[in-house]
Amino acid sequence: MTDDDGGLQPAGATFEQLVDELEATIARMSSGSLGIEEVTDLYERAGRLHAQATERLAAISARIDALTNPT
């Protein structure tokens, strides 16, 4: 599942895919060969990917807690 710029759509990605895409986005931002507009777009994308990965990790953590500490 991809979005307009060819990256993964966060809603359909696994945690690992989100992290991989975030790392790739950061690498592109760090390349030094992009204009300010593209870097800004990538920065916004990185923020969205980070937020989605954080939500996904929190959900996974809650599932693990429920499995290891049944009520």
Name residue, tokens 């777009």. Answer: 41
Give the confidence band of 51 by pLDDT, cuts at 50, 70, 90: very high
| 50 has a pLDDT exceeding 60 | yes
Largest Cα–Cα separation, the chain: 54
Give tens-digit pLDDT for 11-42: 689 999 999 999 999 999 999 999 999 999 99
pTM of the model: 0.78
Residue 41: partners with Cβ closer than 8 Å, 6 or more residues away: 5
How far apart, in whole angstroms, are the C-alpha atoms of residue 35 and residue 57?
32
Amino acid at 36: I
Neighbouring CB atoms inside 10 A of 67's CB total 8
Boundaries of every domain in the chain: 10-68
